[in-house]
Structures are given as structure tokens and as C-alpha cells.
Amino acid sequence: MSHCSTEVIMKPLGDSALIVQLDEGISPSIHQKVQALSMLLNTYPFDGFIESVPAFNNITIHYDPVLVHHTQLNNLANNQSSLTSFQIVCSNINELIQQIDDTQKVEARLVEIPVLYGGEYGPDLDDVAAYHNISPEDVIRIHTQSDCLVYMLGFAPGFPFMGGMDERIATPRRETPRLSIAPGSVGIAGKQTGVYPLETPGGWQIIGRTPLDLFRPDLSPPTLLQAGDKIKFVQISPEEYHSYKEMKR
């Protein structure tokens, strides 16, 4: 049973998770549905629910199949004792989906990210500017004026995949990825912008760096950003950058 609704597609992911495909394409309105379902799951979790992981237009739901099935066996009034754990979870999810109101917006958190652009902190800024035949200052202005939305975290712990960047500075990935990119590096890849939370290889065009820590495993939650956050990049000076760094010590 991989289709549990005429409008929504649910697919098993192993024996303890499923993917709920809410729509096609990528847009803020579709992601609102993802956020709404995530909020409902956390507010009204079914027995056996572990966690949900939102993405661009779908959400992955992890659950304990033994607990899900055991709970239903103890509730014969639902007449679901012969269903698999996957089918039971599908039924629970469909009930929550019926509660989603397309006119109701999930309130987004606004997070400002200070960025030192260019120089050793943004070695690809000039290349991005040259690609579009504009000045580096224009790239910075356009990037800081963009209202970005965090669609999902992935690739590395706390790495935000964002949409909403002005397409005037959309730039392909580097032909040759770097073996090491510093934590906090702000990059562009196609129509997306993102921030590297850890030192890692990568092929995004690096235009700046933030002094903020996007991943702190000693905190709960360990990630600074969450899916659904609105992001505003703010240009800072070298002095302000180092001041941020000193404050964290």
C-alpha cells in the first residue's frame, strides 16, 4: 500500500519510516503544507511516533513499528488489528492531513545571519560578479536584500538549503569542488544559497562567511536553523566579524 490518499502519496522507507509526498515542485506555499503537517505531528503524535524530518515538498516520518502495531491490537474498536504498521501510520497521517488549512500560515521565525563578504572569507565573490557582469558590491546588495526560506537541513548537520534568493545572482557550482570549506562559509549553488556549518568538502560558490555557529552538538536543538525559518543576511565589517568571534570565547 503506497498510495494512502488520492491527493497525497505515502511511500514506505524501510520498515520504520515513510515519506509523505504532499505536492510536486518547490514553493513556499507547498512548504507551508510540510510545516503544517510537521507541527500537527509534534502537537498530536500517534503512538509509536519518533520524529519527522521536513524537506522541500515532503516529510519523512520515523516510527516504532512494534509499538504502532501493539497499540492498535489493544484497541480493537478501531478494527485495524489486521493492518500493517505502515498502513496504520498512513491512516493516522491522513487524519492529520485533513486538519491542514491552506489559508492558515505557520508563523516563521526570522533569523538574521551576519556575513563578512569577499576577500579570504568569500573567495568566489568576484567570480560570481563576473559571471553576471555586475560588481561584487551588487552581488552583496542583492544577496542581503533576498528574503530566504529554509526548506530543509541536510548534506551536513545543520546545513540549510534555502530558496528565495534573487535569481539575478544564481550561479552554477564550481567546476572543481574544494577539498575543505571553512565553517560558516556562505555559498551559492544554482538558485540556492546556504551556509556550511562544519569544515567539509564542497562545490558551492563561496561569497562570504558568518561568525555564527550553525551546529552545536552540546545544545538542544543542536542546529541554529530549522526548516521553515526566514533568513536575512546582513553585511558586517571585518571588525564586527572578529568582535562576534571574541564574544563566543
Q: What is the pLDDT of residue 100?
A: 84
Q: What is the CA radius of gyration of the chain?
A: 21
Bridge partners of residue 163, in order along the sequence: 149
Q: Is the pLDDT of residue 249 over 70?
A: no
Confidence band of 108 (pLDDT split at 50, 70, 90): confident
Which grid cell is 57?
515538498
Is the pTM of the predicted complex or chain greater than 0.95? no
Structure-block grid coordinates of residue 89 = 501510520
pLDDT at 137 over 60: yes
Q: What is the phi-psi region of residue 118: left when phi exceeds 0, alpha when psi lies from -120 to 50, beta otherwise?
A: left
Supply the pLDDT for residue 3. Answer: 39
Q: Quote the pLDDT of residue 4.
A: 42
Select the highest-mean-pLDDT range: 78-87, 94-103, 130-139. 130-139
Residue 79 predicted with pLDDT over 90: no
Residue with cell 550553525: 214
Q: What is the mean pLDDT of the chain?
A: 90
16 pLDDT above the threshold of 50: yes
Report pLDDT for 82.
Answer: 74
Q: Is the confidence at residue 111, as pLDDT, over 90?
A: yes
For position 101, what pLDDT does the model report?
A: 75
Domain ranges of the chain: 9-99, 110-247
Close Cβ partners of 199 (under 8 Å, ≥ 6 residues apart): 180, 181, 182, 183
Angle between helices 85-97 and 28-43 (to 10 degrees): 110
- pLDDT of amino acid 1: 36
CATH superfamily label, 110-247: Cyclophilin-like (2.40.100.10)
Tell me: pLDDT of 81 over 70: no
For residue 198, the model assigns a pLDDT of: 96
pLDDT reading at 126 higher than 50 = yes
d(CA 32, CA 156) in angstroms, rounded, equals 24
DSSP state of 94: H
Collapsing DSSP states into helix, strand and coil, what is residue 76? Answer: helix
Tell the CATH topology of 9-99: Gyrase A; domain 2 (3.30.1360)
DSSP strand pairing (49-54 vs 110-117): unpaired
Q: What local confidence, expressed as pLDDT, does residue 155 receive?
A: 87
